[in-house]
Structure 1
Amino acid sequence: MTGGGFDPVAFLEQAVPVASNEDVDEMRDLLVATLDEYGADPVVDDAGNTIAAKGASDPETHVVLNTHIDTVSPHVPYDREDGIIHGRGSCDAKGPLAALLSAFFAVDPAPDARVTLAITPDEELLSTGAAALDLDGDMYIVGEPTGLDVCTAAKGRFEGTVSLSGVAAHAAEPDSGSNAIDALASVLDALRAFDAERETHPDLGEATLTPTMVDGGENSNQVPADCRLVVDRRSVPPETADGFRSELTSTLQSVVPEGVGVDFQLTERPTPFLEAFATDPDHELVTTLASASRDAGGRGDVRPFTAATEASYFSPAPVVVFGPGVLADDEGAVAHAEREYVTTADVRTAAAALEDALATLVD
């Protein structure tokens, strides 16, 4: 038991059975009731974020703890055996939430410090909660299943559509039109070469640009006037979504055949894309949490995170991703899978590490 009497495993046993894949209301109610029980005085903002804070109102040091309460579908029922909690959300991310709550309840910030807990409702879809947060933190810890490692960087993910426009004609006289599908050859060549001269990121490796979906043409005996190609971009710093869109557009415009128009637009969404981020591995936030994780019994390795997270919304402030559980193990996928689980030992270790690190950061 940690966190001033709060038991993170007992909370997790309550939280995992609560389905939060389609609606987070019941899970948010549980979270708010738990915060109320421990005197945290939470508020729920207009975006559905649950926020609680302790410490100075105008701090010199402000640490923000963040994770999410929504899960992917379908809901997987709760089960527990031999120190393992199974079920949807057990590791992504109710296990990390339990550990963060334990640390939040336990921390006693110095008079000039503040700790804020900010729990979002929509991480798995559009991040509408995180996009609405305005917390002005000096450091951020984002709870996700990292195997108790401290993750300092992650690639971003952008998506968009290349639209090619030609001129329709009878297939018996192909030269009388402009074939939009035929122009795909030069587009695909350009995509393969797009990052050829780009430097490899020291932590995240190479950016990737992958064609994922294509459609075009209306009739089998007609030169197609239109073709659309969806691409998936996994970015590395310092690339931004707008910078990627502009660079790819100009590249494609330079390679398509004469008579074919080309346009590239990012997929419309109400919130910013999750962009790449990278925190200095030597920053106090990283070294303190890594040391605390090792002292508590974890590996405490420092490495990149392999999935997209809302951590990018908090960059360029120093931000790390940390928590119990794993995205995948030797048998295959864990998070988002039917066999999702987290060990109770890892939950307690994560809670102890976070408590120790917070005590150092805001002392």
Structure 2
Amino acid sequence: MPGELRPPQTARELLIGAVSIPSLSGQEGPLAAYLGSWMTAQGFQARIDEAGNAVGERGQGPLTVALLGHMDTVPGEIPVRIDESGVLHGRGAVDAKGPLCAFLAAVAALPDEALAAARFVVIGATEEEAPSSRGARHVMTTFRPDVVLIGEPSGWEGLTLGYKGRLVARVQLSRENFHTAGEGQSAADDLAEAWFRVRAWAARTAEGAGLFDSVQATIQELSSSNDGVTQLARATFGLRLPPRISPAEAEATLGELLADLPGLQLRFSGHESAVRHPRDNALTRALRVVIRAQGGTPVFKVKTGTSDMNVVAELWPVPTLAYGPGDSSLDHTPDERLELAEYDRAVAVLTGALTRLALSWPVPTQPGAAVPAGT
């Protein structure tokens, strides 16, 4: 029947196998090969694309649904095991092999009528955890979906509508060395002053605003040195940006705030604009209905981090949300873990919601179609 799952152990074995394969950013090849083999066995048209993404397609209908997850993880080895409570421990279980494997298992379980109504493209992207987001930046130029799901942990009842933007500022201050008994500010003093100004600006943006709508500033790196001739002080400031402040605006603000500091050099990277999608569209409605049918209560969320949702938003201006099993507070931690029962439930929700979406979608006049790369 529509939405019926294949044997749970098949979906679970996919996940356990994926978590057991190390896949740091830039080293996703073995995992891509594993996922490609699994997809081929499940009837997908599978390939590894030019960016190293594992891509699988099922269905030939006029609706095109992109399910964009990522294969890479941050460093930190966690022994892979399933405890007595049915919880899978391992790096990537939550962020984000759980969501990606849930996408794959759900699309593998879709009934024929859904596959006749829609084309489902599942992407296991490379380098999401790296500043490059190489996989997403490549794939977003290769086709135009009508609907997008991003594979990130939201909890099986959660629907993530948006993520904050990002800007990374690398600050360097230099000055001639002097005796510390004399008058004057050291390069490290000036660097501390730079941080105080940035932190004060972030605090001002938070007045009367919630966390998602204000700037969050953190020090990511900090150092100073002195060779007897020149003092150098360096820092990296990480900024999480709300929708009302673009990376360009934040860059200009920091330039003005720090302009009077002598010997200042500023370099910026990681420019990602915040994104927040509407909460009422065909995609959110389908997921809400099925979550309720599974006994859950749909919960809309926005996240203070950044994901591939930010990367693809400009070229894919269509109904989008992030969904996947797991507790995002466990991302990047030494206790990363995922309840397999929640994973099963997320697969069931996705299977039902994708079926419902495909069968209720009006036939578009210009359906999503492949386009030449780079256009």
Query: Shorter-chain TM-score category?
Result: 0.7 to 0.9
Map 1:162-311 to 2 at 5 A.
Answer: 162-169=171-178, 174=183, 179-184=186-191, 186-195=193-202, 196=204, 204-216=212-224, 218=226, 226-253=232-259, 256=260, 260-267=262-269, 273-311=271-309
Does structure 2 retain, via aligned residues, the 8 Å contact 1:153–1:277? yes
1:322 maps onto 2:320 in alignment:
no
Structure 2 gaps, min length 5: 360-375
**2:286 aligns to what SS in structure 1?**
helix
Structure 1 residues 171 and 306, CA gap change in structure 2 (3 angstroms): closer
1:247-294 deviation per Cα after TM superposition (whole angstroms, max 9, x unaligned) = 3112322xx25xx24332114xxxx54542211122332233233223
Amino acid at match of 1:337: T
**1:159 aligns to what SS in structure 2?**
strand
Matches of 1:167 and 1:215, distance apart in 2: 17
The match for 1:153 is 162
Please state how far the C-alpha of 1:5 moved relative to its aligned partner: 5.9
1:353 maps onto 2:337 in alignment:
no
The match for 1:117 is 122
Bigger mean CA offset, 143-152 vs 83-92: 83-92
Does structure 1 retain, via aligned residues, the 8 Å contact 2:148–2:321? yes
Amino acid at match of 1:326: D
Amino acid at match of 1:286: T
Amino acid at match of 1:158: L
**1:42 aligns to what SS in structure 2?**
strand
1:114-158 deviation per Cα after TM superposition (whole angstroms, max 9, x unaligned) = 321111122222422122112322321112222121111122332
Matches of 2:115 and 2:49, distance apart in 1: 27
**1:152 aligns to what SS in structure 2?**
strand
Coordinate RMSD, CA, aligned: 3.0
**2:303 aligns to what SS in structure 1?**
coil
1:8 maps onto 2:4 in alignment:
no
Bigger mean CA offset, 239-248 vs 139-148: 239-248
**1:102 aligns to what SS in structure 2?**
helix
Amino acid at match of 1:208: Q
Amino acid at match of 2:164: K
The match for 1:142 is 150
The match for 2:363 is none
**1:362 aligns to what SS in structure 2?**
helix
1:212-233 deviation per Cα after TM superposition (whole angstroms, max 9, x unaligned) = 443345167x7x6543332110
Percent identity reads 26
The match for 1:331 is none
1:17-38 deviation per Cα after TM superposition (whole angstroms, max 9, x unaligned) = 2232473232222211111112
Matches of 1:219 and 1:174, distance apart in 2: 19
Structure 1 residues 4 and 179, CA gap change in structure 2 (3 angstroms): closer
Please state how far the C-alpha of 1:47 moved relative to its aligned partner: 0.7
Matches of 1:216 and 1:85, distance apart in 2: 42
Report the TM-score when normalising by structure 2. 0.80
Structure 1 residues 79 and 212, CA gap change in structure 2 (3 angstroms): closer
The match for 2:28 is 24
The match for 2:79 is 77
Structure 1 residues 201 and 4, CA gap change in structure 2 (3 angstroms): farther
Does structure 1 retain, via aligned residues, the 8 Å contact 2:191–2:234? no
Please state how far the C-alpha of 1:69 moved relative to its aligned partner: 1.8
Report the TM-score when normalising by structure 1. 0.82
Bigger mean CA offset, 151-160 vs 7-16: 7-16
Amino acid at match of 2:199: R
Structure 1 residues 100 and 203, CA gap change in structure 2 (3 angstroms): farther
Structure 1 residues 112 and 87, CA gap change in structure 2 (3 angstroms): closer
Amino acid at match of 1:49: N
Aligned residues: 344
Structure 1 residues 199 and 49, CA gap change in structure 2 (3 angstroms): farther
Amino acid at match of 1:314: V
**2:148 aligns to what SS in structure 1?**
strand
Bigger mean CA offset, 138-147 vs 27-36: 138-147
